[in-house]
Amino acid sequence: MADMTEGRLAGRIALITGASRGLGAAIAEKFAMEGAHVILVARTQGGLEETDDRVRAAGGQATLLPLDLVKFDEIDRMAAAVAQRFGRLDILVGNAATLPPLTPVGHLSPKDWQATMDLNVTANWRLLRAFDPGLRRSESGRVIMVTSGMAMEASAYWAAYAASKAALETLVASYAKEIGFTKVRANLLDPGAMRTGMRATAFPGEDPNSLRPPEAVAPVAVSLAEAACTLHGQVARAYG
């Protein structure tokens, strides 16, 4: 078992959205192994408890916050609760995302478009807005927002998802320019193709064993989260 007092994230408070499975769960476990206290956010209590089991098995500690991020006012209440308990937030990982039906632009329903923008863009803006004061109170606040290579590609049928990730990248780039004079650093993480449920939905015929597991990407998130990281306003690509 790792020594929690000597890890690269020892003593740091990290909030991770979409932490019930996939990359979010892998990041939570790796952060815990590196000494962070992880705040796990997702809609499903059962999924959070499974991640909590992994965190505890790694010798770490977690706080579980079941929350639907598209209930935007709940994000403000969550930030207030974190501030009251911990006084600050050292690391914010915006990982939660949704993949709408892959369909031509003319066939995409307004409901699916709005749901994609609500979670992939607006919820992350609300997170930045709500936790900005707590991140500034940290000695080295770090923001990591998960993006996709689709943000830079014009691929048929991917318009809603790609547009949401492109908007997220611009949002984070703008925020990074605003906080350049502070100790907060904000970056994007492009994990590339991973063995996840979302990937299987998008590419049902693909052999999952040909893809990296999310655990292979988690160390890159640790590098972006540690106090020693100087990268700012960039897209860190966890591949090639």
Domain holding 164: CATH number? Answer: 3.40.50.720
The stretches of 38-140 forming alpha helices (DSSP H) are 45-57, 72-86, 110-117, 123-137
Residues with Cβ within 8 Å of residue 131, at least 6 apart in sequence: 15, 79, 82, 89, 92
How many other C-beta atoms lie within 10 A of the C-beta of residue 77?
Answer: 12
pLDDT in tens, 83-122: 999 999 999 999 999 999 999 999 999 999 999 999 999 9
- Is the pLDDT assigned to residue 177 strictly greater than 80? yes
Q: What pLDDT score was predicted for residue 153?
A: 86
Residue 57 lies in a domain: yes
pLDDT average, residue stretch 165-177: 98
Q: What is the mean pLDDT of residues 21-33?
A: 97
Assigned domain for 2 exists:
no
Looking at residue 81, what DSSP letter applies?
A: H
The answer, yes or no, to whether residue 37 has pLDDT greater than 80, is yes
Q: How many domains does the chain have?
A: 1
Q: What is the mean pLDDT of residues 201-208?
A: 92
In percent, the amount of the chain with pLDDT more than 90 equals 94
The answer on pLDDT for 190 being more than 70 is yes
8 occurs within a structural domain: no
Span 188-204, mean pLDDT? 93
The reply to whether 5 falls in a domain is no
Contacts of 97 (CB under 8 A, 6+ apart): 18, 119, 120, 146, 164, 198
Q: How confident is the model at residue 154 (pLDDT cuts 50, 70, 90)?
A: confident
> What would the mean pLDDT of 13-28 be, rounded to a whole number?
97
pLDDT of residue 4: 59
Catalytic annotation present for 239: no
β-sheet with 91-94: strand ranges across:
61-66, 37-42, 13-17, 91-94, 142-146, 185-190, 235-237
Q: Per the domain annotation, does 187 fall within a domain?
A: yes
In a domain, 7, yes or no: no
* pTM listed for this prediction: 0.95
Could you report the per-residue pLDDT of 40-92, keeping only the tens digit for each? 999 999 999 999 999 999 899 999 999 999 999 999 999 999 999 999 999 99
Per-residue pLDDT, averaged over 144-160, amounts to 94
pLDDT at 221: 98
- Active-site option among 157, 161, 175, 239: 161
The whole-number pLDDT of residue 3 equals 54
State which residues form the domain around 110.
13-237
Question: Could you tell me if residue 4 is inside a domain?
Answer: no
